[in-house]
Amino acid sequence: MITGKNYIGNVLASTGKVTFKTFNPKTNKENNLVFTEVSAIEIEQATALATEAFKVYKKLSGTKKSEFLNEIANQIEALGTTLLNMYCSESGLSKERAISERERTIFQLRSFANLVKEGSWVEATIDTANPIRIPIPKPDLRKMLVPLGPILVFGASNFPLAYSTAGGDTAAALAAGCPVIVKSHPMHAGTGELVAYAVIKAAEITGMPNGVFSNLNSGGIEVGTVLVKHPAIKAVGFTGSINGGRSLYNLAAQRPEPIPVFAEMGSVNPVILLPKAVKKKGVYWAKTFANSITLGAGQFCTNPGLILGIKGEDLTKFIKILSDEILKIEPTCMLHPSILNSFEEKTSRIAQQVGVEETVFYKKKTSKNYGRQAIATVDGTTFLANTNLHKEVFGPFSMVVQCKSVEQLEIIISKLEGQLTGTVLEEKELENYTEIVSALQNRVGRIIFNGVPTGVEVCNAMVHGGPYPASTDSRFTAVGVNSIKRWVRPFCYQNWPDIFLPNELKNKNPLGISRLVDGKQTSKKINKI
Amino acid sequence: MITGKNYIGNVLASTGKVTFKTFNPKTNKENNLVFTEVSAIEIEQATALATEAFKVYKKLSGTKKSEFLNEIANQIEALGTTLLNMYCSESGLSKERAISERERTIFQLRSFANLVKEGSWVEATIDTANPIRIPIPKPDLRKMLVPLGPILVFGASNFPLAYSTAGGDTAAALAAGCPVIVKSHPMHAGTGELVAYAVIKAAEITGMPNGVFSNLNSGGIEVGTVLVKHPAIKAVGFTGSINGGRSLYNLAAQRPEPIPVFAEMGSVNPVILLPKAVKKKGVYWAKTFANSITLGAGQFCTNPGLILGIKGEDLTKFIKILSDEILKIEPTCMLHPSILNSFEEKTSRIAQQVGVEETVFYKKKTSKNYGRQAIATVDGTTFLANTNLHKEVFGPFSMVVQCKSVEQLEIIISKLEGQLTGTVLEEKELENYTEIVSALQNRVGRIIFNGVPTGVEVCNAMVHGGPYPASTDSRFTAVGVNSIKRWVRPFCYQNWPDIFLPNELKNKNPLGISRLVDGKQTSKKINKI
């Protein structure tokens, strides 16, 4: 089933000369399969096909698109253990994680299928005409959301299924009516090809236009660069490092026609440990956070990398327990030797900074490529003065900052870069810290009460995004069905004949969707002629 | 009442050294008033005040914000003829236009006041908890839109009221909960100061925090550059030229923390003249478009600058009638000698391009600074080959392109840059041109059936925006209450105690707003504990 080739629309191709292999971090060996990097000609073919496919795909009904999305989910399920085994061999992640991530991927696809089948998501808005208005007649205006065009999606290293080939970005873009070109992540190109096979099969079964989906292999950054600059591409989805995301953002902003880049990047996810909470529940929170910090070898974008408390006996005790607890946890395999190296480099660089104490470092021998957890501590003044300490360390690491006062805590929060999440741990004391909460709100996309930031629910109310550099555009979420809004724009018809309007905007409301008609939300038809 | 000073929050200041005057294009003379450009210190003061004001202003209720917005409208009304006279003396526009633009400005302010008073615009979305869900409990998640922070608004040359000091961008940002710093347009700094006086007075009457609004004077581009790069600024609104908007966009994209720039820029607003329409209604459309092209000396962003038809007798006749009609129209005063110069330069440059025929040029003597309308014609092949001909000419000018076939017409449409509007003129023939309409849709934000693009209704269904360079972000509209979405981001509370939630998200729904609760739109309260 695996060929190592690229899907240029529905056709497998490998005219390129450059090849690469994936790596199994658990066995510490290269996998056997050879992948061929997409060639310049194939890139031109894929983008041309996507542009042609858009002409047809943008007009398909929500029902047709939902059939496609549901069939992708079916085809991913049909891959069975082949997919799970490939996933594990290319990520070092466990089979349980593979299963749960596959379920999440399928849930996302089916959620978007339901959304577009129901149809109200297009925000149909109608202001009917008033031909006798003074001084000039009021025209009939009807607005709905329409797709942007071909979207480029970069697979994420840490979510080979849920945020890669047919993950959240792809599902949202296909649901919106946009063809998708995936730049497959080189660490899990085999998983990518299997999922691409499922997507292409679903496209054929449900009669989608050729070019609605392509899957391109590449081991380096050149292919991504060419694609982001390509005039056929109308927006970009990316999940990964700040350096990677910012590079793509810069390229997109420098195009003759700039395009939106939705990059979900770094975050240290600050945790505010309020005085009573640390005093009364320090043990509980230390245990809870030892688990959250090491979950999945710390390879989650919502990993709690920064814990802020007020210096004193209670915090010292908390650090001691956190240290003890974290040493009890068995390290697990990281995604790739390069990710492990980067983790070890960054933790040791942080430990070398003046004023930083490496409080815990798991030193027992582990298998190759296992991420050994670490905790560092630093005082508030040192932290404030050294922004190197504000940067994300991707992996099982967290830094505890001992602030000298609540005032310093507030200043530190206000100086943090943008974050996906902020957490407040309290014990009936929140009302005394409204300024702290207010400052934290300005820096994050989601705020958590007495809990852990890891675990991102896929639902309507989720916000996965935040001020830069958590994401390049805080006005959108990357998780949940609302993420479809990234790939659409409002479009307005003025005095357009009813018969030529899309169904969403016709007087009779044949889809029965909820619409804003003359300022009132309604599913009723319009009786005007 | 006019001082020539800057409003740094509620305080008038003029510590700067650079001064400038405005110009009356009707009398062709400088106005007397001297304006002092904002100093570097004052810029720091205004941004610091805005940052402080945001802490208070972001938390104000919709009712309080609506009082502020309505009071701004009241205070603008109270300026009476002082404002109208100043407007005319700095723009060359008529008193009737001044009155209608003032009405539009007031209507916008009151529309946003109503929107935020009602409150449902925040898109409150609640997914309640499920503590017994397997394998892990589902948290309570509650999302709403929150303001981005201090916004920088650039006044527009062609709308001294409706898209300047307290125009659409400012009204939308204040409604969203964002403090606003206006970089006043130097052509109408006096009008700007009068309106700023009204805003500050309203802020004082309704008890708004000092710094919620500042009005900064500047004759050049340096002040704008400093402000766009300033870390306190979180987004930018701009209406003007492509060069100006793109420069601001580039600066914002290069910041350490990039920020959104919503620039509404150039557009030639293509008009598609289908064969039967030109045959049967050529005379009618020629007369109608002669008026639309010259309306307000062509100084509207929706001015029809490009008319696309199929070469032949009927189109030749249309051009002849359009030429005759346009010569019957009296030229009117343009906004400024620099705008007239640019108009004349661009029309003459276009007339010099190979293959372009200057079909009409109003040659009778006019008063100084009057824009003399012109029509050029060119064949489709020449137009396709020379993208200089695709650029906007701001003023009373339009170019008629004689395509050799429907196929060429479609190609030309698909090669156009992004546009605010596209217009289709037809005579019971639309069903034969679905590909033309589809191609046009990809390039525009609003599509008009048998009408003119000039005249932008302020309503829910309006889209004023479009693919680049019509605007820098096609995902938002600059006109209508939905333009508030530019200045907000979604924000999520996880497991947050009801008592500490904002009213929009509390179980009891004290504001009675419409919310999406567990997937259902409702105004009811939530009975869960």
DSSP A483: G
The answer to whether A414 and A392 have CB atoms below 8 angstroms apart is no
d(CA B117, CA B111): 10
A494 with B442: Cβ contact below 8 A = no
Half-sphere exposure (CA, 13 Å, Cβ side) for A285? 31
CB contact, 8 Å: A495 with chain B? yes
* Residue ranges with strand state E in A230-295: 235-239, 261-264, 270-273
Please report, in tens digits, the pLDDT of each residue of chain A (529 residues total).
799 999 999 999 999 999 999 999 999 999 999 999 999 999 999 999 999 999 999 999 999 999 999 999 999 999 999 999 999 999 999 999 999 999 999 999 999 999 999 999 999 999 999 999 988 899 999 999 999 999 999 999 999 999 999 999 999 999 999 999 999 999 999 999 999 999 999 999 999 999 999 999 999 999 999 999 999 999 999 999 999 999 999 999 999 999 999 999 989 999 999 999 999 999 999 999 999 999 999 999 999 999 999 999 999 999 999 999 999 999 999 999 999 999 999 999 999 999 999 889 999 999 999 999 999 999 999 999 999 999 999 999 999 999 999 999 999 999 999 999 999 999 999 999 999 999 999 999 999 999 999 989 999 999 999 999 999 999 999 999 999 999 999 999 999 999 999 999 999 999 999 999 999 999 999 987 5
Q: Let me know: does B422 contact B272? Beta carbons within 8 Å.
A: yes
DSSP state of A243: H
> Does B351 contact chain A (CB < 8 Å)?
no
Beta-carbon contacts of A354 under 8 Å, excluding residues fewer than 6 positions away, are A382, A386
| Contact at CB, B497 and A449, closer than 8 angstroms | yes
Q: Facing residues of B326 across strands?
A: none
Task: Evaluate whether B140 touches A452 at the Cβ level (below 8 Å).
Answer: no
User: Model confidence at B135, in pLDDT bands (50, 70, 90)?
Assistant: confident
CA A17 from centroid of its chain's CA atoms: 32
A455 vs B189, higher pLDDT? B189
Contacts of B253 in chain A (CB under 8 A): 249-250, 253-254, 258
Phi-psi region for residue B122, left (φ > 0), alpha (ψ -120 to 50) or beta? alpha
Angstrom distance (rounded) from CA B215 to CA B6: 6
Which CATH number, 3.30.420.10, 3.40.50.1110, 3.40.605.10, 3.40.50.170, labels domain A6-122+148-265+477-485? 3.40.605.10
Radius of gyration from C-alpha coordinates of chain A: 25
Answer yes or no: CATH 3.40.605.10 is held by domain B6-23+33-119+149-265: yes
Q: Which of residues 307 through 336 in chain A touch B, CB cutoff 8 A?
A: none
Q: Across all residues in chain B, what is the average pLDDT? A: 96
Which A-chain residues 266-295 have CB contacts (< 8 A) with chain B?
Answer: none
Which residues in B lie closer than 8 A to residue A493 (C-beta atoms)?
A: 446-447, 449
Task: Report, as an integer, the average pLDDT of B311-332.
Answer: 96
DSSP lists the bridge partners of residue A29 as A24
Residue A529, pLDDT score: 58
Beta bridge pairs of residue B213? B180
Q: What does the domain layout of chain B look like in residue ranges?
A: 6-23+33-119+149-265, 272-449
pLDDT tens profile B308-319 = 999 999 999 999
CA-nearest of B318, B315, B262, B308 to B288 is B318
- Residue B131's pLDDT is what? 93
The predicted-structure confidence for B390-424, as pLDDT tens digits, reads as follows: 999 999 999 999 999 999 999 999 999 999 999 99
- Cβ separation B519–A490 shorter than 8 A: no
- The pairing of beta strand A125-127 with beta strand A141-147: antiparallel
Residue A424 has a pLDDT of 98
Phi, psi of A420 (to 5 degrees): -65, -45
Which residues are bridge partners to A242 per DSSP? none
**pLDDT tens digits, B238-286:** 999 999 999 999 999 999 999 999 999 989 999 999 999 999 999 999 9
Q: Which tokens sit at A140?
A: 């009939």
Give the single-character DSSP code of A188. Answer: G
The pLDDT-based confidence of B529 (bands split at 50, 70, 90) is low
Q: Are B173 and B199 in contact (CB under 8 A)?
A: no
Q: Which residues of A are catalytic?
A: 264, 301
Report the C-alpha gap between B250 and B246 in whole angstroms: 6
Q: Is the pLDDT of residue B528 over 90?
A: no
Token readout for A120 is 């109200």
Number of other residues whose CB lies within 10 A of the CB of residue B509:
20
Asked if A36 contacts A43 with a C-beta cutoff of 8 angstroms, the reply is no
Mutation site, B56, B494, B522, B526, interface A, largest A CB count within 10 A? B494
Handedness of CA A227, A231, A233, A234 (dihedral sign): positive
Q: Taking a contact as any Cβ pair under 8 Å apart, which residues of chain A between 170 and 189 contact chain B?
A: none
**What is d(CA B33, CA A134) in angstroms, rounded to the nearest whole number?**
38
pLDDT in tens, B4-41: 999 999 999 999 999 999 999 999 999 999 999 999 99
**CA distance between the termini of chain A:** 57
Neighbours of B451 (CB within 10 A): 17
Residues with Cβ within 8 Å of B306's Cβ and at least 6 positions away in sequence, in order, are B268, B269, B270, B271, B390, B398, B399, B401, B416
ipTM: 0.96
Please give the Cα distance from A297 to A331 (Å, whole number).
Answer: 7
Contact flag B459-A141 (C-beta cutoff 8 Å): yes
Instruction: Assign residue B402 a region (left: φ > 0; alpha: ψ between -120 and 50; beta: otherwise).
Output: beta
Residue pair A294/A325 in contact by the 8 Å Cβ criterion:
no
pLDDT confidence bin for B444, thresholds 50/70/90? very high
Judge whether residue B486 has pLDDT over 90: yes
CA distance B206 to B71: 8
> Which class would CATH give A270-449?
alpha beta
Helix or strand run (H / E) with residue A11? strand A11-13
A155 close to A216: Cβ distance less than 8 angstroms = no
Same CATH fold, A270-449 and A6-122+148-265+477-485?
Answer: no
Give CA separation, A419 vs A164, A237, A264, A416, A482, in Å.
Answer: 22, 18, 10, 8, 19
pLDDT of residue A173: 98
Q: How many residues does chain A have?
A: 529
Predicted pLDDT of residue B358:
86
Position B134 confidence tier, pLDDT thresholds 50, 70, 90: confident
In chain A, which among 218-257 make CB contacts under 8 A with chain B?
249-250, 253-254, 257
Cβ of B463 within 8 Å of Cβ of A492? The answer is: yes
Return the number of other C-beta atoms located less than 10 Å from residue A3's C-beta.
15
Whether B333 is a known active-site residue: answer no
Q: What is the CATH code of the structural domain delimited by B272-449? A: 3.40.309.10
Amino acid at B333: C
The number of residues making up chain B comes to: 529
- DSSP, residue by residue, B380-444: HHHHHH-GGGGS---SSEEEEEEESSHHHHHHHHHHSPPEEEEEEE-SS-GGGGHHHHHHHHHHE
Rounded to whole angstroms, the Cα distance separating A500 from A213 reads: 28
Average pLDDT over residues B432-447: 97
